[in-house]
């Protein structure tokens, strides 16, 4: 049985199990995750260690620029602008009982505060690889989304950050994956980042641009070091309408510069990523990204 079939079966099983878990957890709503993963690869010869951030860079638009120490407001719903590294506390789904045990065995967990299903970084799916054909085949498993990739080279590896947002069966959700490979390997195959190559990240997900402007969040995935940050919540969504406001931290100035070029190549432009869609702004080694339309759909509208 190939990886795609396994992923589709896991997704369908998870949906059925979530229905069962409602009864055991006595929740009114819950959500599931679809996963991508990869075999970890060896670290580069020199271990990359984050160093102190460089001086903050403010957006090129003085009239709208806000130093990143300012707290976000409802009218300016930017993600974690305070710069604090505290992640949201994730509350697991009730592991007692048969349904809860099976859901956890499939690699899923539940954040009761956000009402979101997600996968832990040590879930079994991490042992699989990621092949780009998954995106083409996902629509046949009722997973329709907008996706974009940010590719760059750093520390002897070819890196790919991939973003997804859309409909996953009965759930609306979003994902950020961190992958890498040895240079020269096929473009179709990437491996999920091992522990030495994970990145700190977080994002807010909104169902529409209007929701973003009004600060009406669909859900948040808290600041944490991860290789694949995901969230899925029961809802019917339109992938092209959804907005992701993300923050991602690079290791050092070299990686920062490489990732910036990757963002530009992907179609993002430098700007005020609090008010301008499909832009990024920089602060220290962090990127703040406001994603709406950049990328391609994995299905025909």
pLDDT tens digits, one per residue of 21-76: 333 333 344 333 333 444 444 443 434 444 444 444 433 333 333 323 233 333 33
Q: Are 164 and 237 in contact (CB under 8 A)?
A: no
Percentage helix, strand, coil, to 5, in the chain?
25, 30, 45
pTM above 0.85, yes or no: no
- Residue 155 falls in which region: left (phi positive, over 0), alpha (psi -120 to 50) or beta: left
Q: Where are the domains of the chain?
A: 3-297
Q: Which residues contact 219 (CB under 8 A, 6 or more apart)?
A: 114, 115, 116, 204, 205, 231, 233
Q: What is the pLDDT of residue 182?
A: 93
Q: What is the pLDDT of residue 19?
A: 37
Helical (H) or strand (E) element with 194? none
What residues of the chain score a pLDDT lower than 70?
A: 1-103, 106
Q: What is the pLDDT of residue 301?
A: 82
How far is 25 from 27, CA to CA, in rounded Å? 5
């Amino acid at each position: 049985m190939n990886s795609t079939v396994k992923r589709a079966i896991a997704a369908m099983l998870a949906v059925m199990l979530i229905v069962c878990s409602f009864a055991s957890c006595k929740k009114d709503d819950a959500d599931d995750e679809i996963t991508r993963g990869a075999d970890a690869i060896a670290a580069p010869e020199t271990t990359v260690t984050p160093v102190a951030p460089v001086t903050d860079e403010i957006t090129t638009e003085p009239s709208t620029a806000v130093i990143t120490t300012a707290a976000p407001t409802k009218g300016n719903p930017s993600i974690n602008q305070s710069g604090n590294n505290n992640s949201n506390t994730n509350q697991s789904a009730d592991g007692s009982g048969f349904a809860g045990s099976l859901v956890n065995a499939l690699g899923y967990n539940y954040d009761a505060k956000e009402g979101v299903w997600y996968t832990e970084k040590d879930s079994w799916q991490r042992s699989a690889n990621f092949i780009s054909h998954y995106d083409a085949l996902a629509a046949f498993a009722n997973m329709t989304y907008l996706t974009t990739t940010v590719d760059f080279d750093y520390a002897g590896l070819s890196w790919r950050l991939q973003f997804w947002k859309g409909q996953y069966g009965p759930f609306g959700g979003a994902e950020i994956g961190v992958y890498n490979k040895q240079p020269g390997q096929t473009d179709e195959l990437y491996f999920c980042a091992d522990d030495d190559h994970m990145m700190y990240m977080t994002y807010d997900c909104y169902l529409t641009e209007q929701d973003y402007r009004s600060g009406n969040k669909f859900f948040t995935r808290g600041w944490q070091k991860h290789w694949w940050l995901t969230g899925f919540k029961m809802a019917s969504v339109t992938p092209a309408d959804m907005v992701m406001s993300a923050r991602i931290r690079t290791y050092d100035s070299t990686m920062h510069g490489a990732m910036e070029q990757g963002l530009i190549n992907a179609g993002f432009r430098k700007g005020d990523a609090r008010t301008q869609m499909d832009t990024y702004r920089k602060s220290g080694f962090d990127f703040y990204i406001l994603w709406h339309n950049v990328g391609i759909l994995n299905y025909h509208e």
